[in-house]
Structure 1
């Protein structure tokens, strides 16, 4: 494992040492249930409150607008199904989503469609950016909810979310965004974005897997989709995972502190792109050239299959798309929505750098990928 160059930070990140250290006491001595009234419970409740404050501060929210969840998928389901349930008795039965949403958004929306909701799929341009003209055409008097991801997990394109939200909210429409990929990589402020609901995934910004959060703006109509006791404002019943919540809080604090340093990731990403472009004629960038996550490089290698390329370069740990469904040997739906040819989509590889990526990693990865491409072309 130590010889491998990890370039799959969009799939998951390692747990930051500060996060791991903060979690430890809550696995042993501070093991109380936050609902208990004795000292053990109060210590756990205080820790949960502190973690919520840290997460809220990262996105410019209030502490009581944060709901801890098990995953970003759970947060997305809570936002979409909960909002739909709250508005089910109104005249609004229409939802707008983009054509490049993650399955954690698309599948709940398709479920709602099977329950009688009308769904509009908004197209994207060749860079993966939502077409504002299509947004304007999709918004209707009966639109209840718009859900557009903040940044794409495969190509990194950052959506014009603030403008989308401005147009939607002017019509009284709720706005949700899946910000799993953008948190910790670019600045995220819920008021600047104008969203009512926002999803976070801990393992995308150096917290453990199995912890996420949902931002719920005060006054947003949202019904529970899980039933039990009243933890997490009644939206996420069940005894809280105190240890991982504390970890998420520390990860959020680190993300806030280290955000000014994301320029280093951009420099390494661009260096990788430059080295590949110089040695692979016809290499094609997928995603917006400028409005893109600073760590994300999705490129199509001409004349080869991306999965075969990575198999030939085992020293490079990367993916051909989203880790949630990258095991399939089929072209990316995101790239198809962007109008990419089958050959370009077939040759695509997602390379995502992180805090720990070194200049040497970039150089070795470029060499390994170029060598693998040449071998496949000669085969």
Structure 2
């Protein structure tokens, strides 16, 4: 089996699974309980929070645990909207955001908020001039992803941070779900970023756990109220075992980040160059620093993406039709449409997403099968 769908989810590290099992079986007390078992859980919880914060160069009081990227995004978008509604109701998100952000913004529109969508250029990058033109005195939030999940374009977070530098009343949220371990944290956790969303299963932790970075002093309304956990901002009993496993996975990911990115980028470059040598191939993800080293999206002329996905699956090679969250809906990649790609061409798109677990042998096997699939589509092309 060759697993090239790591942007959808990653295989948990064995070390993270061992941590989960050990904590779940030995330290099962509720962190909110007063007895010793509860205190043990609290110590694990806070040690994990401190470790994650340290790895990101932040303070432990700025890390809040959630169920994953979708909740973190929802909380950031809706929490800021509810907290700051008295100051303004204008929100800006990019036109290529993950559904967790765009659907949250869409729902807020039904609640009386004014949503603007920042356009992107033909390569999939937010248009900075257009974004600047959208800013208004009543703008309370700007939300831009760090790495696009469909084509891997690395968004200009540093430039947007400069744009917002003299606008402290605007909260700046970054969806960093696809960024951890793929690009340096300095590119998306600038001093100007107020909120950032993360999901554990994107960096080899278990599913169902994530966190939100919230800069100290920034206010956000809770979505979950109840027992007062997470500083009374996210009430529910914390999943201590999953949180501990996530802290372990994050450390392992960042410890080997530098060497992993070099390896992954080389694999992407080999696949990219081979695909580019074929006439009826459209490549949507470029090589180079402007794009994440792990994501490569392409299409075969006149062949729908799902056909290609199943063709590779017959050989136990697993890729996807761009975003896993929308692939079953059968819709063309929203990012490509926003880039001006026609619906017909966008429907051909498939995404390869690599990881340090992959190797050159798998790349060679993938390219062998690709040639077979490509030859079989000759009549359609």
What residue is the counterpart of 1:176 in the other structure? 173
Task: Give the match's secondary structure for 1:175.
Answer: strand
For 2:120 and 2:191, how far apart are their aligned partners in 1?
19
Whether the 8 Å CA contact 2:276–2:283 is kept in 1: the answer is no
For 1:25 and 1:54, how far apart are their aligned partners in 2?
18
Deviations 1:78-98 (A, max 9, x none): 1111111110122x2100110
Whether the 8 Å CA contact 1:58–1:255 is kept in 2: the answer is no
Task: Give the match's secondary structure for 1:8.
Answer: coil
Whether the 8 Å CA contact 1:303–1:377 is kept in 2: the answer is no
Deviation at 1:50, TM superposition (A): 1.3
What residue is the counterpart of 2:61 in the other structure? 64
For 2:299 and 2:379, how far apart are their aligned partners in 1?
18
Deviation at 1:378, TM superposition (A): 3.0
What residue is the counterpart of 1:117 in the other structure? 113
What residue is the counterpart of 2:140 in the other structure? 144
Listed as ranges, the matches of 1:219-230 within 5 Å are 219-230=217-228
For 2:76 and 2:356, how far apart are their aligned partners in 1?
30
For 1:275 and 1:372, how far apart are their aligned partners in 2?
14
**Does 2:284 correspond to 1:281?**
no
Structure 1: runs of 5 or more not aligned: none
Q: Pick which of 10-19 and 309-318 moved more.
A: 309-318
Using the size of structure 2 for normalisation, the TM-score is 0.95
Structure 2: runs of 5 or more not aligned: none
Whether the 8 Å CA contact 1:83–1:223 is kept in 2: the answer is yes
Deviation at 1:193, TM superposition (A): 5.6
**Does 2:44 correspond to 1:43?**
no
Task: Give the match's secondary structure for 1:47.
Answer: helix
What residue is the counterpart of 2:379 in the other structure? 378
How well do the aligned residues superpose, as a CA RMSD in angstroms?
1.4
For 2:307 and 2:175, how far apart are their aligned partners in 1?
31
Whether the 8 Å CA contact 2:285–2:295 is kept in 1: the answer is no
**Does 2:184 correspond to 1:187?**
yes
Deviation at 1:223, TM superposition (A): 1.0
Using the size of structure 1 for normalisation, the TM-score is 0.95
Large movers: runs of 4+ above 4 Å: none
Task: Give the match's secondary structure for 1:297.
Answer: strand
Whether the 8 Å CA contact 1:81–1:108 is kept in 2: the answer is yes
For 1:15 and 1:193, how far apart are their aligned partners in 2?
31
